[in-house]
Homo-oligomer: A and B are copies of this chain.
């Protein structure tokens, strides 16, 4: 599989939903496979909150593959011998695309001067990228969680762009339940003195991480899993060398949360985290419309909406409501809802590929109505 990582710079103004303008911006993106002559074999993959453009393949000298490597590659479900797959790091993030710690035109990091972004803004920035590559229509846009929000925004804001839209473990409007989990993160980051009210030095957390963000991430991990998946994964196992009656003795589930959360804070920028959860919190596809079905009337892309039974963060019923609203909008022939019977929770869209990859293949092979 041919893998390329690039950064594109845009000097065009990006007009944001808030009314503000981002005067220039970079997007770091990755491509897999080869673009055919008439540029008709493109699939766009959108990443989740803390994901990146590195969706597939393994970098030289690295051991960890991209976050959807099980799905994207030569001969895989999203077959890179057939398709040219693009995954872009969203604006606001911290893996090369313009975000709050990027230099503003004054030469200093934006920090809080960075504008609040929406999911539609992230999508509009990507549209500039695709347009610069001469790509005006794609075979499919696919994404899970926040990636699914982007996929819906593509379908609503740019109805002619994607022939097919595949949305996994996502929602049409972020619920107070998900906002509450994000609140634990934002509060925890903001109150950590090492965060220095947003005026930390770049790279401060590469070594020891930021405990405030780690705490928030622990809450995040809870929302990504489920009661049953934790039971299965950890049970009540105790860390062997710890005494049960030691105040700081640990259960395995605690060790898992610590390990993953602190690791995460070494690579992810806390201001980016604040800006991206803000974008998720204010995501509401029906804003400005009377109902969700009114919003979805413009959709002509063939929608495949996949919900996961044990997903506590973006519940299956929220996915189902997207499909139901498509039907209500008179767009039923363009929509299909699939519910996956998984006990893994929200993370199922990243982990339990075998449960749903045939549905993705089917959606890609099918001719849109």
Which A residues lie at the B interface, using CB under 8 A? Answer: 17-20, 112, 115-116, 173-177, 179-181, 183-184, 187-188, 191-193, 211-212, 214-216, 218-219, 221-222, 225-227, 230-231, 233-236, 244-247, 251-254, 257-258, 274-275, 278, 281-282, 284, 312, 315
Contact = CB atoms under 8 A, between A and B. Distances in A.
A249 B275 CA distance: 12
A165 B192 CA distance: 44
A219 B253 contact: no
Q: How many copies does the complex hold?
A: 2
Given A215-B191, A222-B181, A315 B175 contact: no
Given A191-B212, A227-B312, A231-B177, A183 B245 contact: no
A99 to B, nearest CB: 13
A184 B253 contact: no
A218 B187 contact: yes
B230 A214 contact: no
Contact of A177 (B20, B214, B230, B278): B230
Contacts of A258: 183, 187
A78 B27 CA distance: 65
B184 A222 contact: yes
A17 B243 CA distance: 13
> Which of A175, A176, A191, A254 gathers the greatest number of chain B CB atoms within 10 Å?
A176
A284 B176 contact: no
Contacts of A181: 222
A235 B175 CA distance: 7
Contacts of A315: 227
Given A177-B222, A312-B312, 5 more contacts: A177-B226, A180-B230, A183-B253, A184-B219, A187-B258
B173 A246 contact: no
Nearest to A118: B245
Contacts of A176: 230-231, 233-236, 251-253
Contacts of A281: 251
A278 B173 CA distance: 37
Contacts of A234: 176
Contact of A247 (B112, B179, B226, B233): B112
A148 to B, nearest CB: 18
A246 B153 CA distance: 21
A72 B173 CA distance: 42
26 contacts: A18-B244, A175-B231, A176-B251, A177-B222, A177-B227, A177-B230, A179-B236, A179-B254, A180-B253, A180-B254, A183-B253, A183-B257, A184-B184, A184-B215, A184-B222, A191-B192, A191-B212, A191-B215, A219-B219, A227-B315, A236-B284, A244-B282, A247-B274, A247-B278, A251-B281, A312-B312
